[in-house]
Amino acid sequence: MHHGNHFYGHAHVLAEYCGLDPADPPRIDGYLQHGWNVADGLGGGTPYAPGLPIFVWSERTRRRAWSMGRPLATVIGSPFLYLMRSIPAESTKRDGTIWYPFHGWEGQHVSGDHQRLVDEIVATEAGPITFCLYWQEYRDDRVRAFYEQAGRVICHGYRGYMRMQTDPRFLHNQLAELRSHRRVASNRLSSAVMYGAAAGCEPAVYGDPMRLASEDLATAERVRREWPELQGVAPDPATARATAMAELGDGYLASPAELRALLGWTAAHRAASTAREAA
C-alpha cells in the first residue's frame, strides 16, 4: 500500500504492538495518517485509490475526512500513543527543553532567519536546550551550525521514502528524548509538540514561524487560530495535554487483536491478499 504508511517507522511500531515482526511489517490495507493533520488525515497530494480505508488518529480528523468526501475513515489512534502504551515511562529526572525548528520536506523547503530564532530561544529557555532537526536540516552544515552554537543538536532519524532507509526506531528515539526533557517547543504547532505534551513535557509554540515554499497560508493561520491553548511561551500544561491527547486519539486505541483485524493483518486477511497477488 502507500509508502507513507512506513514513514517514521509507524507500520513497524504497530506491527510490534500487534505481536508481529517489527522489522518486516505486513502491508496495511489502506492509508495510515502519518502526521498530525488538519485536513482528512492524508498528506497533501497523496494519490488515493477510492474504496480503501484511511486510518486516522482522532475523531476530529475522521469528521473532517467525512466532510471532505472520504467516508471510509476509521479512528485507531496515533502510533505514538501505541508506543507509549508499550513502553512504560521510567521515573527519570527531566531537564531543559527539546526544541523542534519548523522544517520542510523533499518537496518544500523552509526559509527564514535561523540566527534570529536561535537568539529568541536562548533568551526564553531557562535550562539546557536540545535542538532536534529534521534530517534535511541536520545534514545541512550551514543550518546545523546556527543551532550547534546554542546547545546540543540531534536528529531522531530518517523518515524514509518509498520504503527505503526508514529508521524503524524513529519514534522510539523521539519518545526517549521527550521523556528526558521538561519542556518541548517549536515555532509552529506540530506532531512533535503534540507528542511532547502527551509524554509529559510542558509545551510551547513561539518564535518566527518561518515560511514554507508554496504553503497554504490560510491553513497555517487556521492552525494558530484553532489551537490557541497550545500557542505561546507558557501555555497551561494540563489544558495543552488534554488537547494533545484528543488530537492523538486517546481513548480510541485498539487491542492487538482488534488492530490486526482493522489493518488486514490477520492470518485470513494475509492469506487472501497473497492469493490475490498470485492470481
pLDDT tens-digit profile, the chain (279 residues):
678 889 999 999 999 999 999 999 999 999 999 999 898 988 777 778 888 999 999 999 999 999 988 899 999 999 999 999 999 988 778 999 999 998 766 656 776 889 999 999 999 999 899 999 998 889 999 999 999 999 999 999 997 766 667 899 999 999 999 999 999 999 999 999 999 999 999 999 999 888 776 667 788 788 889 999 999 999 999 999 999 999 999 999 999 999 999 999 997 666 656 655 565
Q: Which CATH number fits domain 97-244: 3.30.1360, 3.40.50, 1.20.120, 3.30.160?
A: 3.40.50
Q: Looking at residue 273, what is its pLDDT? A: 60
Q: Looking at residue 108, what is its pLDDT? A: 62
Query: CA nearest 182: which of 195, 165, 199, 157?
Result: 199
Q: Looking at residue 94, what is its pLDDT? A: 95
Q: Would you list the domain boundaries of the chain?
A: 3-77+249-278, 97-244
How far apart (Å, rounded) are the C-alpha atoms in residues 132 and 18?
29
H or E element at residue 153: strand 152-154
Quote the cell numbers at residue 140.
Answer: 545541512
Cα-to-chain-centroid distance, residue 52: 22
Q: Look up the pTM and report it.
A: 0.93
Q: Looking at residue 1, what is its pLDDT? A: 61
Amino acid letter at 265? Answer: W
Q: Looking at residue 104, what is its pLDDT? A: 65
